[in-house]
Structure formats: C-alpha cells, structure tokens
Structure 1
Amino acid sequence: MITRPVATIGAAVFVIGAATTLPMPLFTTYAARSGGGAGGLALAFIAYATTLIITAPLLGGLSDRIGRKPCLLAAMALAFLATTALTIAPGLPALAVARTCQGLAIGLVAGGATAWAAELAGGPDAGRVAARVTAFATAGSFAAGGLATLTALWLLGESEPPVTFWIHLAAIALLVPLVARLPDRAPAARVAWLRVPAFPRGTVTTSFGMFAAWSVTGVTLSSVPAALAASGHPRLGPLAICFMILVGTLMQQAVGKLPARRASLIGLPVLVAGAGLVIFGTLHAALLPLLVGGALVGSAAYGFLFVGALASASEAASGEDRARAAAGVFLVAHTGFCVPPLLTGLAVDALGAPTALAGFWVAMVVLSVLLAALLLRRAR
C-alpha cells in the first residue's frame, strides 16, 4: 500500500524529474536565439550528464551522511532554480545553468529518495513499493515534462515562458512544506564521502550497451531537433522524443524479468534499427519514421539495454558493491550521453546533418555488432 509520506516523496521526485524535460520543446528556440548551432545546443544540453559524472561519487552517499530530507529539499530548490533561469533569461547560457542544476538535483535524489520512501513505508514490501513509486515518478516525469510543454505550446501559442513553467514552479512551492514535515532518519556517522563506481567481471560489455543506448538518445535529444528545426520543422523532434521516452518507460516495465544477457542481445539490434529510422525521419522530415524509430530507440535504451546492464551489475556484485556496480553502469551510460552527442553536434555544424548523422549511425552499428559478438562469445 502506498502511504501518504511515500506518495509525497514520489511527487517530489516527479517535479524534480519534470524539470529536465519541461523546456525540451524550446531547446532549438534557445539555440537560435543565442546564435548557436547543433554543437552549441549539444554543449549546453550535456551539462546535465557532465555534472552527474563529476559529482556522482560525492553525492551517492550524501543522504546517508546528512539525512534524506536535506538532500530532497536541496534537489527541489535546484529544480526550481533551473526552471526560473529559463523563465527569466531563455537562451543557451540559461539552458546550461538549468541543465547543471538538474544534474545536481538528480544526483541528490538518486538512491536516497527510494531509501527514504522505503524507511517511511514500513512493512515487508516496503522496498518494493518504494522502488516502484520512485521509478515510476522518475520515468513518468521525463515523459510528462516535454509532453506538457508541447501541449501548452500547441493549445496556447508560442508565447514564452509557457504556462507549464509557472505550474512547475507552483508545484514545487506547494510540495516543499509537505516534504519538510516528513520524519527523517538520523544521519549515519560513518559513511564514506566517496562511492567510487566499480565494474565487476562480466559487466563491462553490458555497460557499454548503455553507452550505445544513451549515445543514441543524446543525439536524438540534441542534434535531431536541431536538424529538424533547421529544415523548418521545430516541433517534430520534441514530439518524437516524448514518444521515445513514453514507450521506453512502458517497455521497461514489460521486460524487467528478462535475463541480463538476453535483454542486451535483443536491445542492440532494436537500437540500431530505431536509430536508423530516426535519422531517416530527420533527414526527410517524416513523422512516421520518427515515431516508429523513437519507439524502438526508447524500447532499447530505457527497456532492454537498461534492464540488461543493471541486471548484469546486480548479478555480478553483492551488498554495498552492488550499488557501486550500478554506479559504474551509469558512469558509462552518462559518458555516452555526453561525448557522442557533442561530437555529432559539432559534426552537424561542420559537415551538415546528412553526413554527421549517417556517420554516427555507422559508428553505432559497428559498436553494437562488436558488443553483440562479445556477449555471444561469453555465452558460449
């Protein structure tokens, strides 16, 4: 049963996660306003993942050291600041600030929010209930944020800031006193400041499946909308992205019990096919390939490959090492979310979208074939 405190924490996680995709339909508008191309947009966009990579070893154990409540409240304040920055000064500099705040916010609640919800839920199923609530709040917020702003822009026109920004700020303001009243556990005295990611034997290949997956999602979130906006279709990219996240969230629930290696082996060809369709749809401004490709990419990135990587890490480690192994997966994944999208964005500016996106797809095909061969060899 989901109690009121658990629901409150879930709602807080939802508004924190929503901050990351709420401005997504306006990314290309910010880039055009600031005179930046696909490379500039990618650079501002990946500030989120870069922040997580740098701060994750420090933030991972912070809620154990200082308490769950301060971390969640700080994350809500950072989400509020992110939306406020884009409300006051919409453009690439504000987007970089917002993405940095969002990265810090997600880093503060990763793990700690679920642990707090489990502590407040009580009962034999506390951990399962808490994980289900916070996972749904996180994934659901990523899909809802962009869809809400897209809908607002469609119904109410292109005025800025969209009404969803004000709703988001009001929701955080209303939730802060509710979170502040929740009971918190006493901080632990002996908790390591650093939680260094680990890569147990057998997890490197599946982790790099996530590198490929989040490389594709990063390019879909940055270079694809920029290329479509340049060809006169600024809303097609955000629509495909929202569909990608929504389908991926649903698929994650459907494939959750697949064996790790099988999930990764299914995910790699699905990812390659989806990336090909997204790129084809981008270059031809065709909605159907964008939606189908987005659905396939979401299924692979947030479903098969995500489940495969985390299941592999969980099977290869135990106890506290399991958390470090999961951190290793996210370190590799966020590196994929940073480096290939930035290089692709710079290539789009220098060589044009067809050459840059085709080159990116070929690189993903080569990487996916190599990873699949390694997984099959290990299975034999």
Structure 2
Amino acid sequence: MPKSFAVTVLLLCLFTVTFAVNLQAPLYSAYVAESTMGATAVTVAFAAYVAGLMPTLVFLGGLSDRIGRRIPIIMALVFGGIGTLALVVAPGWISLVLARCLLGVGTGLATTAGTAYMAEIMGEQQVKRAALIVTSSTTLGFGGGALATGISLSLQGQTFFPSSFALLFVAVPLLALLVIRLPRCDEPRAVSLLRLPVFPSSTWPYGAAMGVAWSTTGMTIAIVPLELQIHDLGNWTGLVIFLAIFIGFLCQPLAKRLSNPIALGLGFFLTPFGYLVLLAGSWSHSILLVLVGAAFTSASSYGFTYLAALSEFSMRSSEERARASAGLFVYAYVGFSIPVIASGVLADRYGVLQAMAIFGGALLISTLVVFWAWHKSPEDSNKLTASVDTL
C-alpha cells in the first residue's frame, strides 16, 4: 500500500473517532430534559467521557505495543458507532452517559495508537510532520462533529437522528475494513497488556499547559451552551463549539514553523485572553464576543499548545511513543474534565455566569503559576531565549 494512501486512511480514522465525540453536543439540552439535575446532568454526562478515557490512557496507553496499532483503531471506530447508535435507539440522559463513556474509551485507544502509528508510517525523520497530521485530523474531528449536527438540525428540525449520525454509521464500517489493509510498521512486543503512561523528562510544562488550555475547551463545550440557552442563543452552540476547535487547526501550520518553546509561550497568552473575551461576551449577551473568545482559546488549545506539546512528547520518547502520548493526554483530560465538573456544581448553586467567572479567576491564576514555574526552569528558559534570538 502506498505510504500516502496509508496516511490518508489513518487520518480519516482519527478524524472519524474524534468526529463522533462531540457529534451529540447540540442535542445535550434535549437529552437531559428528562433529568431534574440541571447543569449537573450535563457535567455528569460530560464526565462520563473522561471516566471512559482516563482508565484507557492510564492502563491501556501502551496496548498497541502488545497487539499492534490496527486493532485499537478498529475498536475505537466501533465504540464510536455503538455509542452514537445508543443515542438513536434510546435517546435520553442515561444513553448519553453510556455513549460518552464509550466515546472516551475509543478516543483513548485511537489517539495513543494513532500517534505512534502515524510516526511509524511516515518515518522517524518526519515525527513533527506526523504530529501535525494527527493534531489536524483530531482537531477537525472534535470540531466537525458538533458543527455537522448543528447544520443537520437547522435543515431537518429537531430530531434525534440527524444526518450527521447517518454519515458516521456509513464511515465506521468502511474505515474499519480499510484499516485491516494498512501496513504493519511496528513489531508487537511481548509486554504487559496493562501499561502505564510515560511522562518524558522535562515535558511537564507542555503537559500542564495542555491541561490549562483544554480546560477552556471543556467549558466551551459543556458550560457555555447552558448560558447561551438561557438567552435564547442555543442555535449558536454548534458554531461556538466548532470555532473553539477549528481555529486551532488553522493555526497549526504556523505553529509547526515555530519552535516548541515559542509556540508554548504564545499559547500561555492566548488561553486566558480568549476566555476573558468569551466571558465578556456571555456577560453582555454578545454572541460576537463569545465567538471571538472561543476562537482565541482554540488557537491555543488546538493550535500552538497542542502541536508543541504533542511534538515535544513524541520527540522525547521515540521508543515509547504510544505511552508518551497517553501521558500527554492524561494532563489534557484532567484539565478538560475536573474544572467543568466543578463548574457544573457551582452553576446549579450560584448560576451559570457566576460559575464561569469563578473558573476565569482560577484559569488566570493557573496560567500564571505554570508560566512562572516554566520560566524559572533553567533548561526551558534557555530554550525559549534561544528560540526568540533566532526569530
């Protein structure tokens, strides 16, 4: 199989797995309507995704080292299809929790195996380009699912079986068959099925920055739509989520041209700035500011910070790339989930906007602390200075 075709199939698989993750986001309010838990119902369903993903990252991040890269990717596709099918067959909050859990498992399997597999297909000399392809395909997937369902609902009206779901059901079996035909570039090793993540030396600032940046994305996906719904702006949810992810994709080619320290430093600025703009838009009921703020946070979460972090983790652990990817996403999803769950509880007690404001204060403090600690680290500080001098 030609290398270009193998790369295309793999990126389509990564896109499809992550496409399924936010596919149901514009329907959250409809799924939880039967529940009496308010904002907490949304955050519990949101947390179910992490409940499926985190154990997969922590205990099965190196699974593909034992059984090969292809099987975990096929499993991820199937989990995405089954989770989405559950929402069609029995739409409701319980099905949403089940679906999100399955989607979390699938994401954990696909991102760890897929990152290692892409580098193996493309070769060690193109590790950073392989990381760019992985970040681009997953970024488009995470954002594209919500947008596709938003467009489908605008054309079809309210339904629990939008056209975007049907598209996923067609793609999953076709791609699963193509994955079987992909070349085996790795040599499965006689290692334990349960393998813990690897955290390469000196990568903690990148992981911590990912966690901080992705916390803003979690808020945009789970909490911001609740505020939009209060002000009859719920029809903007799909576009807000799409921008919160897609703008990062547009920034990735620029991020690839920058050194990892420079890209990370830019991300440290964009993350809190974008969220503060988004918060101002929510406070003033300005959808324009909400969209602009979501775009700025996306530039960091899925652009500069994401690519710099994935590239750094991959380059510093070439022998354990799948487990290193798992280590990075442990950072990312801790940030993605815990603040959102806490904000959901606060929203039910004090109000959605107040919860968003409290999160904004915590975000600013966290960003400053991580940046200060990174800047004080001799190795990273020297790298940043050297990178600025070469610009």
TM, length-normalised to structure 1: 0.89
In the other structure, the counterpart of 2:359 is 360
The letter for the 2-side match of 1:355 is Q
- Aligned partners of 1:20 and 1:102 also within 8 Å: yes
Residue equivalent to 1:26? 27
Q: Residue 304 of structure 1 aligns to which amino acid in structure 2?
A: F
What is the distance in 2 between the residues matched to 1:123 and 1:210? 26
Partner of 2:238: 238
Does structure 2 conserve the Cα–Cα contact (< 8 Å) formed by 1:211 and 1:332? yes
2:55 counterpart residue number:
54
How far is 1:170 from its partner? 1.8
Counterpart AA for 1:293: G
Q: Which moved more, 1:91-100 or 1:8-17?
A: 8-17
Q: CA deviation at 1:100?
A: 1.0
Rate the CA distance shift 1:213–1:103 in 2: closer, same or farther, 3 A: same
The range that moved more, 241-250 or 104-113, is: 104-113
Q: CA deviation at 1:224?
A: 0.8
CA contact (8 A) 1:213 1:301 kept: yes
Contact 1:279 1:357 in 2 (8 A): yes
* Cα distance, 1:34–1:368 mapped onto 2, change above 3 Å: same
* Aligned position for 1:8: 9
Distance 1:124 1:38, change over 3 A: closer
Task: Extract unaligned runs of 5+ from structure 2.
Answer: 383-391
CA distance, structure 2, for counterparts of residue 253 and residue 63 of structure 1: 29
Deviation at 1:312, TM superposition (A): 4.6
Cross-structure match for 1:38: 39
> CA offsets, 1:147-205, max 9 Å, x none?
11111111222222212111211222333333334454686241243432344553333
Q: Distance in 2 between matches of 1:257 and 1:242?
A: 24
CA distance in 2, matches of 1:220, 1:83: 21
Give the match for residue 373 of structure 2. 374
Distance 2:123 2:264 in 1: 34
1:169-318 pair list within 5 angstroms: 169-182=169-182, 184=184, 188-313=188-313, 317-318=316-317
Superposition pairs of residues 309-348 of structure 1, within 5 angstroms: 309-313=309-313, 317-320=316-319, 324-348=323-347
Q: Counterparts of 1:14 and 1:149 in 2: how far apart (Å)?
A: 15
Aligned residues: 378
- 1:22 to 1:305, Cα distance in 2 relative to 1, 3 A: same
Deviations 1:313-370 (Å, cap 9, x if unpaired)? Answer: 456x344356544433221211111111000011001111222111110111111122
In the alignment, the residues of structure 1 paired with residue 259 and residue 200 of structure 2 have an alpha-carbon distance, to the nearest angstrom, of 17
Take 1:363 and 1:11, find their aligned partners in 2: how far apart are those partners?
A: 37
Aligned to 1:144: 144
Shift in alpha-carbon separation, 1:262–1:189, aligned structure 2, 3 A:
closer
Structure 2 CA distance for aligned equivalents of residues 323 and 178 of structure 1: 22
Percent of counterpart pairs with the same letter?
A: 33
Structure-2 separation of matches of 1:21 and 1:321:
29
Distance 1:26 1:65, change over 3 A: same
Matched, 1:98 2:99: yes
Give the Cα separation in 1 of the matches to 2:126 and 2:307.
22
User: What letter corresponds to residue 99 of structure 1 in structure 2?
Assistant: R
Change (3 A) 1:60 1:236: same
Give me the TM-score of the superposition, normalised by structure 2. Answer: 0.87
User: What 5-or-longer segments of structure 1 have no aligned partner?
Assistant: none
Write the distance in 2 (CA, Å) between the matches of 1:118 and 1:299. 24
Give the Cα separation in 1 of the matches to 2:305 and 2:132: 19
CA distance in 2, matches of 1:206, 1:137: 20
The one-letter code of the counterpart of 1:369 is L
Q: Does the aligned pair in 2 maintain the 1:210–1:336 contact within 8 Å?
A: yes
Query: CA separation in 2, counterparts of 1:254 and 1:276?
Result: 24
The structure-2 alpha-carbon separation of the partners of 1:282 and 1:152, relative to structure 1 and needing over 3 Å to count, comes to same
Residue type of the alignment partner of 2:51? T
Shift of 1:89: 1.7
**Matches for 1:96-175 after TM superposition, within 5 Å:** 96-116=97-117, 133-175=133-175
